[in-house]
Structures are given as C-alpha cells and as structure tokens.
Structure 1
Amino acid sequence: MVSTGAVPNLAFRRLRGPRSAGEFAAAVRRSAREIGEQVACDARYIGRVESGEIRCPNYAYERVFLHMFPGTTLADLGFSSRETVRGRGARATAEIPDTQLPPTLHSDTDEESDVLRRVFMTSGTATMAAASLGFGLGTAAAAVPAQRPTRRRVGEAEVTAVEKAVRQIRLLDDRHGGDGLYRRAAQPLRAAYALLDEGTTTRRSTSDRLHAGAGELAISVGWLAHDSGRFEDARSHYAEALATARLAGDAALEAHAFCNASFLARDTGRSRESVRAAEAGLRAAAPLGSPRLLALLALREAGGRAGLGDRSGCEQALGRAHQAFGQGTRDADPEWMTFFQEAELEMLEAQCWSALGDWRRATRHARRATQLQDPHFTRNLALYRAELTTDLAHAGAVAEAAATGHQVLDLLDQVQSSRIRAMLSEAVRVLRAQRGSPEVAGLLERCGEMGV
C-alpha cells in the first residue's frame, strides 16, 4: 500500500523507457547475477519504486542499479538519501545498545556485516573483542587463521562479544533467512573457536560461558547453512557444537545441538536418525527444568516418526509435545527458544501431517500458524505461508494456494532462504497440473519471472 504523500519517481520511470515493468524487472535480475547479487525483483517492485513507495532501495538493489547505470548516483535515479529515509542514521546506531536495534522489515540482507561489526563496538575494551572475532578487519583478517596467534587472556569483553554475535545472528535470521548471512557468520565462528584453542581464562565461569557461546555460535551458523541448503556444512557445525557440549559437560548446549541435528536429519530424509537425535536431546534436556524445550524435542521426534510413516508414534510424540507446551514458560527455558511460540508449534505439527499425507490436517495447522505468527518475524511468516501454499496445493484448494503463494513472493525481497524457495517450488510443481486456472496461471507466471 502506497504511503500517504508518496512522490512518484519520474527519473526512475524515464530510465525504464519503453520496456514494460516486467521486462525491466528481468533486466534488473540479470544485472544482479552479473555482479553476484540475488534480488527478487518483479513488476510489482518496479511499480513500488516508480510510485514513490520505495524512497531508497536497500543496499543490494543500490549496487544493482548503479551497475546498470554507471556513473549515476541514487539521487540521479530519483531516490532520497538513506539518512533521510532511515532517520537518525549512524549516530543513533552508536548511541543505542545493539539489543535495541533489530533490523526493520525493510532492512537489507546485505547489511548484516555492518550490524555484526557493531555488536563488538559497545564497550571500552571492545576493540580487542572485535579483533578477536574477526569483524571490521578488512581482507587482512583472512590471513589470521593461517598464523598461530599468540596466547591471549580471555575476559568479559571477548566472551560478551561471542554471546552478542549469537544474539545478533538470530535477530537477522528472524528477518532475512540464512542465504545472505552464512558466509559472513562463518568468520566469527572460526575466531570464537580460536579463542577456545589459544586463549586462557582465570575463572571457571568465564570458561564455561566461552564454551557455551562458541557452541551456540556453531549451532547458529549451522542453522544458517541448513536454511541455505548447505546441508553437509550444517551437519559439520552441529557436530562441532555437540563435541563442545560434551567437552564442557553442558547439557543445555547438548540438547540444543541434538535438537538441530534432528531437524536437519528430517529435512534430508534421514528419518530414523532424526528420531534418535531427538531422543538423545530429550535425555539431555530432562534435568534442565524446561517443559518448552521438552515440547520442541518431542516435536522433532514426531517429525522423524512422520517421515518413517509411523502415524501412531507420531501422534504419541505430538501428544507429549502439547502436554509439555501447555505447562507454560519457565526461567530455565533457553534463550535461543524465543522463536518457539504457538505459531511454531502449529507449523511443526502441520509438517508432520504433511509428511503423513493428511493434507486436510496439515492445511488446518499451517493456516493457524500463519494467523498466529508475529508479522515482524518476516522469515517465519514467509516459511509458514510457503508450507500453507504447499498443503493447500496438495489438498486441491488451488485458488487459495495461488493467493498464498503470491504472499510468499511478496516477502522474497526481504527473505533469502533456499529452504523457503524449495518449499514454494514444490507447491508450484503440484499446481502446474491446474495451470488452466487463472489464479494458478498468474502465480506460475510470476514465479517464472522471479526464478522460483
């Protein structure tokens, strides 16, 4: 919806010339590929720019537009400066704690390196922490791991930096998905493990926090790999986190590693392994006093059993998940579980019924997930809608499936997730049999334009 007072961007419209909005969008996507960018540009996006709704493009689009029209500036293209669009700008960033700076819905997936660098700039001793974790060092940082660093004393600044990196990666993933984040997040992970290998600590509590932080960072980076389709990388990162948990005797980290390993095994067709990993996670989590963690692990088990075609076992695991979830939150709930609300419970149950081929039940739970999801968590909203699109397509509700598919496409400018694209592609595959439907034909055309 165009905001009140939007001023049409006539300069950009002139650059389009006689080409249709769809033709121009295709040219934008081609130019993006030339410079290694990925933008989900379509005719609707071009229309939003020309209407003035988009006053300044995100960084990825900026690079593409300046590549298409060499020698121009954003002002030449009819855009406002980023500072006037985004308010207080860099000064505010330096003044407000990072925990209060989650990206907005219009943040760019390529801004994550800037945001991650800011994580380590919030205290007087943060320069050392930033250097330790490889942010803001330019290309010279790439040579650091190849050298044997001198032993350093690890204290509060370094440990806090690792913990903040984990939180910031999770915030960015909630908004944008893993594709754009993964490569940049791998560097601080290497640096965090270098601290474990080369650093010395004077307190057991500091050592425990560093092990926990490094392990959680490995899981976060593993999840980014998982979400972006790099399954072997994800498997390696989860194994690294599990090894760290075992070395430190950290049951909470062990439960988290098994939880994600179970999810990965389910997504890669290793259903029996998924069940075993979930059961191991449940054993590790039993003494931790978190019913919500037990609920999530039961859902992981349910997903594995659904993949095996074990309907009875799946239903039993779902029953245990609902019972544990109904006990509410506890102080002992891990910080990383903030995503696990009722919407996620519904989504994971929908995926169980989908794996069992019960499309009616799958659709009911997926629709409920989309209704419950906080719209600020853009990635999950796109994910839940992609699941609903697939379930509706299999259930034969083609008009609603097409409408929901359009909603997913509307979010792909903000979310880069190979997993979500794969889910939508599955829905499109099912819907092709109904290409005679005007609604389906429109969705298929738009998916073709956007390369889905």
Structure 2
Amino acid sequence: MASSKGSASAPAGRPRPNLVFRRLRGRRSPAEFAAAVRRAAREIGERVSCDARYIGRVEAGEIRCPNYAYERVFLHMFPGRTLADLGFVPRSSVRGRGARTAEDAPLARPAAPAPAADETRSAFGPYDTQDRKHTPEHHENHEESDVLRRGFMTGGGATVAAASLVGPLGLALDAAAAERPVRRPGASDAGALEEAVRRIRLLDDRHGADGLYRRAAAPLRAAYALLDAGATRQATADRLHSGAGELAISVGWLAHDSGRFDDARSHYAEALATARMTGDDALEAHAFCNMAFLARDAGRPREAVRAAQAAQRVARSLGSHRLMSLLALREAGGWAGLADRTGCEQALARAQALHDRGPSDADPEWMSFYGEAELQGLEAQCWSALGDWPRAARHARRAAHLQDPHFTRNIALYTAELADDLARGGRPDEAAAAGMRVLDLLGQVQSSRVQTMLAGTARVLLPHRRASGVSPFLDRHAASPRPT
C-alpha cells in the first residue's frame, strides 16, 4: 500500500491528513477503532490508552509517526505492513523537531525547546521516541499511575498538580501543587487537562469509583485554577472550560458510583453551569445526561425524565444518533421509576432505533463505553424497575456476554444485575452462580453500586439457603470486605 497519499510532508503548521489510516478504519467509528487498538495491544502485552481523540489526531495528520508502543500495536493489527504503509512518515524525519506553537509559548519570555509534537503521548511518556524495556512494573507505573503526573505537569514550568505511584491505582496527589500560582495557560495545558479526563475514565472502567473519588478532588481544583489564570486565546479558553466541565462530570460520576449522591449532584451542577456560561451544547448535554442518571438512582424519577428530555433538546443539534439513543435510555429509566410502562417502552424503542443507525464521527469521545452491551444493561434496569424479572434477566445476561473485557466494572455491574433479577425471579441457584462471578470480579473492581446490588441479592436469597449453590455464595458474600 502506498503511503505517499496519506502522509506526505505538509507546510509547517498545516498537517496533512493521513488518508491511508482513515481508510483502514473503514466503517468503524473512531471510538470503536480505538477499542480495537486497545484489544490488539493486550494481545501482545502492550498497554496504550488509545481513544477516539487519538485516532482523530492520527487521521488529521497531527501525529505523523507513532511512538514505539503504538508502532508495535499497529504492525500487529496490520501484519505485513510497515509504518509507511499505514500512512506515517519515517521516525527520523520527526525526531527532535520543536513543535511549540505560539499559543503554547509563555507571555513574557522565550520558550524552552519542547519535545516533538509529531509523536503521541503514550502509556510510556510524552512524545517518547526511545525504545525501552517494557517490564510489567514499567507498564503499571505509567498506564495506571500517571493519570495526573502526565495530565497536570505543564510544559512551561508551572506544575499545577503532580501524582506519584501509591497503591494499586496510583492516584496519590500533590494537592498543595494545585494552590501554587500558575502562568497564563496555553494549548499544552488544555491538552493535559483533556488527557487527565481520559485517564480517570480509563481507571474507572477498570477498577470502579470507590478507590478514585477522594483522590480526584485535587485535579478538579487544579483545573479551575487554570480557568482562573485566564488563557490569552479564545480557542484555548474554550478548551479549558470544556475540559474542566468534563472533569467535573468525571469526578461527579466517581461520587455517583460510590454512593455520594449529594457530592455528585454538586459536581454535575458545576459542569452544567460551566457549559451554559460558554454555550457548550455538548458539555450541557453530557451534564444533563448524568443528572438524569443520578436522579433515577436517587429515587427522583420525574426529575430523571425532565433532565433526560432537556439533554435531548440540547443534543439534537450535535448530530450524534448514539448520544440521542443513550439519552432516550435515560428517559426510559425515569419512566420505569414512575411505573409508566408505556412511556418506558416508547423511550426504549426510540433508543434501539437510534442505536441501530450506527456510530458516526459526531459521537462524543466520552461515549466510548456505549454500545450494544450498555444498551442491553440499561434496558435490563428498566425492566427490573418495572418488576419484569425474566425480561430483565434476559437483557442483563446479554449485556454481560457482549461487554468488552476492558470494561471490568461494567461486566461486574451487569452480572450483579443478572444475579438480582434471577433471585427475584425465583431462580436462586442461577442467581447464586452469577453472584459468585461478581465476587470474583470484586478483587479488581471497587464500586459501591455493585456491592449494594449484591447485598440486595444476598438478602433475597437468604430464605433459599438450601438451594444449590446458595449457601456457599451467602457465606462468601458475608466474609467479603464491605466498602468504607
């Protein structure tokens, strides 16, 4: 495959799109292709935090040559091809070239040389071009613990927040750094903030929220410190506001999933206010989406319906069928909480029809979790709220089966939903078996939501202790640690 069509050199500051790489993605959305990249990485023992934005940067020509980790993954995905065949330029042509833009430069003094921007920040360091030995410890340090050390150490000497490896999730923060005075932020700060949001989401997908929430408060303060410092360019200011709002939603979700509903409500409201101040429809739709989910979980179903409908009004102009599908599911959850079966069924049908239209480039980056598995899981929750246990169990089983292994927390959640539906539907033996699978996953996942669901299942199964497998499940559940 010729590479000259997609990656020939372009004038400085005007990267040429990598059309070869775009063709290789085919009909998959950037988020779906990013998921395929992560799966390929796991197959060869690599770890890369690839997402839709990274794929977009490659296709836009911003990343002219990937670092060594991504190179190995891409060559594994497309055997027999070279980097040139994938539309990239030779590594020698990008190594060591300065890429600092005027927007990144300090206001009063010349900038120090910056690393080459033609290589992406990977799990092994920003713009890394050195081939190094990848030990398991090295992977763990960089993939799991650099959420904020990479995300909040800015390039111009103004460290907003730093992180070091402490504990299995590696999110211990230098909170004092968030209080230090900062320079006027530039595009590199906005990029660091966006990266931090992605990394927190990645950790939540794998481990759940309980171990992350308290440690995520400092980066949120740091993000708003960047806003207070004030960017000189409007484009940078918009990115900072959007990034801070997305981070507020991410921290709100960590609070939500760990049962801290009041904290979650506050963070979501902060994101909503940020969105409305800047006229950011995408951020506003995301905030309303999470507010609808929180209202449902907090026992305020009518508020859930209204928030979901507000989200749909804002999101119509964004052009994403997948987003509208998810918002219809949020509305369905509210109708189910109101015991309105007709309203729920109509919203579910709308959600399925919108989902079936397929992904598009307009789908928000944060929606990478939303696919057929999540649709099935949310529909299971609706039928459960309506008391249709067999139907709920059918959808929950489908969700657990379809879920990408990367989303460990969701697999635990869907399986816990399945266990509860089976228990309430009069199938205690199958419920106990599903409950055992959840207990196996709790070694990797810290989610109060999952543990609360499992505790409810155990209470339902108590009268059925003599059924096959129930007693071992109840004993193991009783001996398992509880969330603090």
Q: TM-score, normalising length from structure 2?
A: 0.68
Quick one: which of 261, 264, 279 aligns to 1:231? 261
Local SS of the residue matching 1:153: coil
Look up the equivalent residue of 1:262 and give its one-letter code: A
8 Å contact kept, 1:108–1:414: no
Alpha-carbon distance in 2 for matches of 1:152, 1:94 = 23
Summarize deviations over 1:80-134 as a string: whole Å, max 9, x none.
xxxxxxxxxxx9834787xxxxxx9xx989x95544323456xxx53646x2245
Evaluate the alpha carbon distance shift between residue 134 and residue 439 of structure 1 in structure 2; reply closer, same or farther with a 3 A threshold: same
Map 1:41-440 to 2 at 5 A.
93-94=124-125, 112-120=144-152, 126=155, 128=157, 131-135=159-163, 141-143=174-176, 150=181, 152-197=183-228, 199-440=229-470
8 Å contact kept, 1:229–1:418: yes
8 Å contact kept, 2:419–2:434: yes
Alpha-carbon distance in 2 for matches of 1:420, 1:208 = 36
Local SS of the residue matching 2:149: helix
Evaluate the alpha carbon distance shift between residue 281 and residue 113 of structure 1 in structure 2; reply closer, same or farther with a 3 A threshold: same
Alpha-carbon distance in 1 for matches of 2:322, 2:430 = 33
Alpha-carbon distance in 2 for matches of 1:369, 1:379 = 12
Query: How far apart are 1:201 and its partner, in Å?
Result: 1.7
Relative contact order higher in (CA < 8 Å, ≥ 6 apart):
1
Evaluate the alpha carbon distance shift between residue 96 and residue 402 of structure 1 in structure 2; reply closer, same or farther with a 3 A threshold: farther
8 Å contact kept, 2:146–2:163: no
Local SS of the residue matching 1:152: coil
Alpha-carbon distance in 2 for matches of 1:297, 1:254 = 12
Look up the equivalent residue of 1:352 and give its one-letter code: C
Evaluate the alpha carbon distance shift between residue 166 and residue 115 of structure 1 in structure 2; reply closer, same or farther with a 3 A threshold: closer
Summarize deviations over 1:255-277 as a string: whole Å, max 9, x none.
00000000000001010110110
Look up the equivalent residue of 1:250 and give its one-letter code: D
Evaluate the alpha carbon distance shift between residue 115 and residue 216 of structure 1 in structure 2; reply closer, same or farther with a 3 A threshold: closer
Query: How far apart are 1:186 and its partner, in Å?
Result: 1.1
Summarize deviations over 1:153-207 as a string: whole Å, max 9, x none.
110121111000000001000000000011111111111011112x222221111
Evaluate the alpha carbon distance shift between residue 108 and residue 184 of structure 1 in structure 2; reply closer, same or farther with a 3 A threshold: farther
Alpha-carbon distance in 2 for matches of 1:92, 1:298 = 35
Runs of 5+ unmatched residues, structure 2 = 1-121, 129-135, 167-171
Q: TM-score, normalising length from structure 1?
A: 0.72
Alpha-carbon distance in 1 for matches of 2:165, 2:466 = 55
Alpha-carbon distance in 1 for matches of 2:394, 2:319 = 31
Look up the equivalent residue of 2:236 and give its one-letter code: T
Summarize deviations over 1:119-152 as a string: whole Å, max 9, x none.
456xxx53646x224545999954466x6x6462
8 Å contact kept, 2:256–2:264: yes
Look up the equivalent residue of 1:435 and give its one-letter code: R
Local SS of the residue matching 1:215: helix
Q: Which runs of 4+ in 1 moved over 2 A?
A: 91-97, 111-116, 118-121, 125-129, 133-145, 149-152
Same amino acid, percent of matched pairs? 64
8 Å contact kept, 2:173–2:218: no
Evaluate the alpha carbon distance shift between residue 284 and residue 133 of structure 1 in structure 2; reply closer, same or farther with a 3 A threshold: farther
8 Å contact kept, 1:215–1:253: yes
Alpha-carbon distance in 2 for matches of 1:395, 1:140 = 45
How many residue pairs align between the two structures? 347
Alpha-carbon distance in 1 for matches of 2:287, 2:462 = 39
8 Å contact kept, 1:135–1:188: no
Look up the equivalent residue of 1:290 and give its one-letter code: S
Alpha-carbon distance in 2 for matches of 1:118, 1:132 = 11
8 Å contact kept, 2:420–2:457: yes
8 Å contact kept, 2:284–2:311: yes
Higher helix proportion (structure 1 or 2): 1
Summarize deviations over 1:297-322 as a string: whole Å, max 9, x none.
00000000100000000001111111
Query: How far apart are 1:388 and its partner, in Å?
Result: 0.4
8 Å contact kept, 1:366–1:384: yes
